[in-house]
Amino acid sequence: MRIKIIVSLLESPKNANKLSSSLGVNYRTVEHHMKVLLSNNIVMVQGDGYGKVYFPTPILINNIKILQEIFMAAGREGGI
């Protein structure tokens, strides 16, 4: 589920309600996973309450770029 949330946020920032509806899961499920992702600096949040919007952190984006470079250097088509 966390991977699905990350992929969705890489497409565009979203609030928990939008994530729950687009992923077809309960709002509370999204909230649980967001707490874990926030505590591990994978996502960041702007706003309060229902207006909270989640974004991927620069750390996540940089790590994805590094992984893509590694896969490309290893000769894998399409990256990760």
Write down all domains in the chain, each with its CATH number in brackets: 2-73 (1.10.10.10)
Q: Where residue 78 falls among pLDDT bands split at 50, 70, 90?
A: low
Any idea which of 28-37, 58-67, 70-79 has the lowest mean pLDDT?
A: 70-79
Q: How many CB atoms lie within 10 A of CB 43?
A: 22
Predicted confidence (pLDDT) per residue in 35-56, tens digit: 999 999 999 999 998 889 999 9
pLDDT for the residue 40 = 96
Strand partners, 55: 44
